[in-house]
Structure 1
């Protein structure tokens, strides 16, 4: 077993990317993910990689487009307002079917907001964000170790499906320190015969990377191809964690750092004799709707907890499909819910008073 080291979340993402074979990083500093940019500035020259602090987030995402098109494992990172600036480039990357990893360590918003943790970028990440019919694969870790494992997984999924993968973390995960280990056996680089690398390997014609299709029938054909790919991802890549759901009457739903708070409240409730379980989505897109369908057949209600005014709760309601009540509890602007506050919500629902 590899030796564990104590690392801050942002830095752990950077080292995991290097372990995964990433040798190109383009970004721009913004709190609360700046340590990731700093870490890559230090480590990339040490491993023979390329680090470039771009003049803007817009420039950075277009550099990602270029490196990905040439077949490199490439990453960028930012926080909420910076990710907003990257949206046009992300849509281009998805349209051109280029693999890359995009890290969003979310902060409170809207606007410049604040530098404390938030989860109000859920819609932006899972519903497109940019223009056109496209999807990012969206992964939501809830610990520093999961940041490591999911970063490595993100590069593999990006290459496998030729698609951008977004890691959706938050300011708490980016700043917290926990022991982690790096498993190099997880890494599985793939060949990229489609990459724009000139006439290498005796190629007769150069590969062309493009997302422009001027003829509407050609563009529709390309869109149909993308939608078939997205359906394959839906079928194969839904990830989630269930805790104490076998006998649960109330199912808590939370992702990221909020899921750890919810778990503490759930354990307190079970110790008090209440049948409470938890379902934690790990892929936010594709959303793991199947377990919700199954749990809605036996659970009495669901309670979604988020650091937002309520975004994932809409996907929970769609997945439950009206079979059972779905309650919501959220905090905003960087305020974190306490396990006590979540426990009080549980008590209200279990006693028939409903959620606030």
Structure 2
């Protein structure tokens, strides 16, 4: 039985013109970055142009950001780029959010639109006590790590929050950052972001005071009700591959249990099992496949201790993880790491 693959991770090309402009505004040679990532010359695409309605592999888009960031790796160019794109993106790509009454409504609409713009990513807003946490990650381990993409995206979200909080007199407030990737440049983002980030965390997060969610959102012009630029329609009936995607959304953040995945998909556990049975799949096989993908990435690309990897994958102990990994890879995790040259 072959396990269902993840759906292809893509992003709408409607974002590319603004990316090119933000790169130039941040001191990045956009022409060079686009060429190095196989995208040709950046043009000012229009909303009614053919390129504005297409999709691009997400891996190629993240390569574009990596290429731009590598031009000046110690200057935080992709963080600056994410900040630069905030205002034009709100006006041109996500104008419906500006019709929200408060910042919480704007962020919810913005994250939903980003989820539609980028297939194969996960965006979430949560509140814990007096802190709001915005979470972002690419869910396909084959695309990890993409450090400049994470910096670009969190900088964009940070700039959106600061734009409206600043308009209401809250220009100075504490933030906290964490990144999934390990630190790979000498850049200190503390002076740009106002906070020294943590690296090698389970996901990319931006945290700020939850009181800011009540900030009023004001717009000087009426906004269209349903702005969509080649976005995909919302699918109400989860397919088998969407169940796989739900598993990967939680991957690396603790136990993967059937009840939580069913709830994420809007299904009962019984309905989830029936749907997988119709496709000749088992929940256990899908979880094992996802765990293996994460373990291979973590052992090959990070310095995370084996015990930490086991915990993130929801194993009871390091020994259980080692036995499961050996069954799949034919060797213990420690040997695989040594052979991959990341010991």
Q: Normalising by the residue count of structure 1, what TM-score does the alignment of the two structures yield?
A: 0.31
Q: Which has the higher strand share?
A: 1
Q: Normalising by the residue count of structure 2, what TM-score does the alignment of the two structures yield?
A: 0.31
